[in-house]
Structure 1
Amino acid sequence: MASAISGCDTSRGLRSVSGEAIASEGKIILINYWAEWCKPCREEVPVLNKLAKTHNNIVVVGVNFDRLPDPVVMEQAQKLGIEFPLLSSEPEGRWGQPRPEVLPTTLIIGIDGSWKKTLVGPQTAADFKAALQQ
């Protein structure tokens, strides 16, 4: 089941609600914006779950587009089978990128902590692989 993340501290690190750091140092971060009503978002979940499980150099975190209360987000995430951590507050502007207008949207943050690319619309495993190799 997904874990809630309260947001970001001033450094690169992401912190859980309990204060635990999400290990992102030296890793690529994929920040995926999703919503329960978004069919392509639901279709991406297994791909993102697999990326998170099978790539030690990637951290996947989710952001609920609807800005719902954490308990509702957690309930929706469980229904959708989201296994990666979730931010309870979005990192809007943290990497100089605006809030997405289209779902799903995934921001790719490089190992150096800078924004690298934004993927808009549904992505397949091959799409993510190609984007990560650029």
Structure 2
Amino acid sequence: MTTLTTFACAAGLAAALLGAPSHAQTPERRYTPMEAFALAAGSPFPLDALTTPDGQRLAAEPLRGQPVLVNFFTRFCAPCIKEVPKLNQVQARHPELRVLAITPDSLPDAGRYIQQYGLNWPVAANAGDVMARQLHVSAFPSFALLDAQGRLITTVLANQLGGEDGHATVEGIEAWVAAHLPRPAP
């Protein structure tokens, strides 16, 4: 897996995601995928191995058919908490994109986090084994992007999607997603 990959944004999709005029040019950005992430691009993401905070198996089928932005978080992570309203905005602005949060936190802790911070998307909890052993996620917050069939496109640490304070921004998240999704057919 390449540790540093250059991606040029597809101008049309980036413009649509960012709300810019279609003739706008999006500058080339460099994003470094998580080095230790265990899945290679194109590999199926283990959605079926996940559990919701109420103890039910995560329904993976509703996540298929559209790209999925996966947010890895934990309740002890201050930047993760700061991202919640931003991810709520991304989800509201882009119904063509699903958001899924995955945490190693216990089912009750994840339930309290959802209530306290107002997550508006599905959450998989108690996923420490999946995150540590299957995926090798070791930093929070971080993201993975899945295609409409549930296969990994790429990953990134959230600090690459932000402003000067190092926290992800709505615009940074949208630009990263736009840079990695296939260009829609004309």
Offset at residue 24 of structure 1 (A): 2.0
CA RMSD of aligned residues (A): 2.8
Could you tell me which of 105, 108, 111 is aligned with 2:145? 108
Shift of 1:89: 4.6
Letter aligned with residue 176 of structure 2? A
Decide whether aligned partners of structure 1 residues 15 and 25 sit closer, same or farther in structure 2, where only a CA change above 3 A counts.
farther
Give the TM-score, by structure 2 length. Answer: 0.55
Aligned residue in 1 for 2:90? 51
Residue 78 of structure 1 pairs with residue 115 of structure 2: yes
Higher mean Cα deviation, 84-93 or 124-133? 84-93
* 8 Å contact kept, 1:36–1:80: no
Whole-angstrom CA distance in 1 between matches of 2:139 and 2:51: 26
Corresponding residue for residue 27 of structure 2 = none
* CA distances 1:77-121 after superposition (whole Å, capped 9, x unpaired): 21122221111253549xxx7332111011111224321121203
User: SS state of the match for residue 30, structure 1?
Assistant: strand
Structure 1: tracts of 5 or more residues without a match: 1-6
Deviation at 1:20, TM superposition (A): 5.1
Where in structure 2 are there 5+ consecutive unaligned residues? 1-45, 159-166, 180-186
Does the 8 Å contact 1:26/1:57 carry over to 2? no
Deviation at 1:133, TM superposition (A): 1.3
Amino acid of the residue matched to residue 107 of structure 2?
D
Which residue of 164, 169, 174 corresponds with 1:129? 174
Q: In the alignment, what sits opposite 1:88? A: 125
Identity %: 22
Q: Work out which of the two has the higher radius of gyration on C-alpha atoms and give 1 or 2.
A: 2
The answer to whether the Cα contact below 8 Å between 1:8 and 1:15 also exists between their aligned partners in 2 is: no
Do the aligned partners of 1:29 and 1:108 also contact (CA within 8 Å) in 2? Answer: yes
Q: Distance in 2 between matches of 1:115 and 1:126?
A: 22
**C-alpha separation between the residues in 1 aligned to 2:149 and 2:59?**
21
| TM value normalised by structure 1 | 0.73
The Cα of 1:62 is off from its aligned counterpart by 0.9
Q: Give 3-state SS (helix, strand or coil) of 1:9's partner.
A: helix
**SS, match of residue 63 in structure 2:** coil
What is the match of residue 3 of structure 1?
none
Whole-Å separation in 1 of the counterparts to 2:152 and 2:59: 23
**Alpha-carbon shift at residue 19 of structure 1 (Å):** 7.0
Higher strand share goes to which structure?
1
Question: How many equivalent pairs are there?
Answer: 121
